[in-house]
Amino acid sequence: MQMSLRKPGARPGFRASFQSFGVARRGLMAVGAGVLLAFTPPAFAGGELNLYSSRHYDTDERLYEEFTEKTGIKINRIEDKASALMSRMEAEGANSPADVLLTVDIGRLWAAEKDGLLQAIKSDVLDDAIPSNLRDPEGHWYGFSTRARVIFYDKEKVANPPQTYQELADPKYKGMVCTRSGSNIYMLSLLSGLIEHVGEDKAKAWAAGVYANRARDPEGGDTDQLRGIASGECAIAISNTYYFARALRKDVRDLSGMTDKIGIVFPNQDSFGAHVNISGGGVAKHAPNAENAVAFLEYLAGKDAQNYFAAGNDEYPVVSGVAKSASVSQLGDFKADTQALDKLGENQAKAQMIYDEVGYQ
């Protein structure tokens, strides 16, 4: 099925189109009920892809170059924080030139879907490659790499580190635990997962207990939590795996060279498994190049692209048969929580309410 991606007299450049929100549409797609037919592009299909991305990793450059080499589709890119990109798409409305939104954490993708910024697609390629719990059942978003949110600890100070998320609230760890703010999307998703597993009452008790065990008030990013262990300020910290794996692969200020001091626990291995989240994306609601957008997402699910996409940020590939990078392999194997990720989005408001109620800054 051939579709025209460009109208006569279409605007000549993507970046120039951002001078105002009055953007002329470059192409029309026949989209019925928000569903696209699965599409694998022939070599050098041509045209363009307008990508809104909150990813900013050097290896992504090669990822995009290879896609263009394989398809002839030029990628025009706008990079910013996820919140800024989503606000931009909302402001642009039906005139938005965005074809694909790439970002991290299901909480953001879920919000983008609920705000009407993504359209449902149907792709057998994506459905076959991406595990069902790592994609939206209706095809609004797909995960292309995963990270686990786990427990790190000072090997010299903590003889018996917590083996579950729930144990982080045990008073025996009072004055030892460092985390990010309760308003951080990673912390919201973690608590959202606990709400699903143990219920709101126990989740609230957990949040209060972890906050009571704080070594300092919540602050900084995940790397700062790990630096806290390296400096001796924190004995236990919560962080995503890729921040630690990155320090194993390359120099990270005030962390590399100190990693031997830090132990890792993949929590809840005897129950529901370690909390996982995704880097992922979806096709924009008003994508002018929707066929190319689907082709790009299908490309990200290919084995070659998976190596770039996951290894570029020291994450786990989602496609079966793709090897982990050397830095990620050093972390060891673990049992992952397989709950449907859309539950993390659905519980996000409850999680924020709980953090607020217990005074978790």
Torsion of CA 200, 202, 208, 209, to 10 degrees: -160
Per-residue pLDDT, 14: 42
Domains of the chain with CATH codes:
26-145+277-328 (3.40.190.10), 147-275+333-357 (3.40.190.10)
Please report which residue ranges of the chain form alpha helices under DSSP H. Answer: 59-71, 82-92, 106-114, 124-129, 185-198, 200-212, 222-231, 241-249, 290-300, 303-311, 326-329, 342-346, 348-357
Q: What's the CA gap between 242 and 57, in Å, rounded? A: 13
CA neighbor of 52 nearest in space, from 92, 100, 17, 96: 100
Cβ 26 vs Cβ 49: under 8 Å: no
119 contact partners, CB below 8 Å, separation of at least 6? 31, 34, 36, 140, 282, 283, 284, 285, 287, 290
pLDDT of residue 13: 39
Q: List all residues 6 or more positions away from 333 whose beta carbon is below 8 Å from its beta carbon.
A: none
pLDDT value at residue 10: 37
The pLDDT value given to residue 24: 35
Of the candidates 149, 214, 143, 237, the one whose C-alpha atom is nearest the C-alpha of residue 185 is 149
Give the closest residue to 51 by CA, choosing from 94, 126, 102.
Answer: 102
Rounded to an integer, what is the distance from CA 302 to the centroid of its chain? 18
Q: Which amino acid does the sequence have at 34? A: G
> Which pLDDT score is estimated for 17?
38
Q: Are 179 and 237 in contact (CB under 8 A)?
A: yes
Residues 167, 315: Cα–Cα separation, whole Å: 26
The pLDDT value given to residue 29: 34
Q: What is the pLDDT along the chain (361 residues), one digit of tens a residue?
A: 333 333 333 333 343 333 333 333 333 333 333 333 333 443 345 699 999 999 877 778 889 999 999 999 999 999 999 999 999 999 999 999 999 999 999 999 999 999 999 999 999 999 999 999 999 999 999 999 999 999 999 999 999 999 999 999 999 999 999 999 999 999 999 999 999 999 999 999 999 999 999 999 999 999 999 999 999 999 999 999 999 999 999 999 999 999 999 999 999 999 999 999 999 999 999 999 999 999 999 999 999 999 988 998 999 999 999 999 999 999 999 999 999 999 999 999 999 999 999 999 9
Place of tokens 């699965």: 38
Q: Which two tokens stand for residue 277?
A: 């989240």
pTM summary value: 0.86
CA 338, 198, 110: angle at the middle one, nearest 5? 50
- Distances in Å between the Cα of 200 and the Cα atoms of 112, 319, 347 are 25, 33, 10
d(CA 192, CA 83): 20
> What is the structure's pLDDT at 28?
30
Q: 79 pairs with which residues across the strands?
A: 53
Looking at residue 58, its pLDDT comes to 75
Q: How far apart are CA 179 and CA 182, in angstroms?
A: 8
For residue 56, what pLDDT is reported? 78
Q: Is 145 helix (H, G, I), strand (E, B) or coil?
A: strand
- Exposure string of 36-61, with b = 16+ CB inside 10 Å and e = fewer, is beebebeeebebbbbbbbbbeeeebe
pLDDT for 280 equals: 97
Q: In this structure, what token pair is assigned to residue 181? A: 């703010």
**AA identity, residue 193:** G
Could you tell me how far CA 8 lies from the centroid of its own chain? 38
Rounded to whole angstroms, how far apart are CA atoms 152 and 154? 7
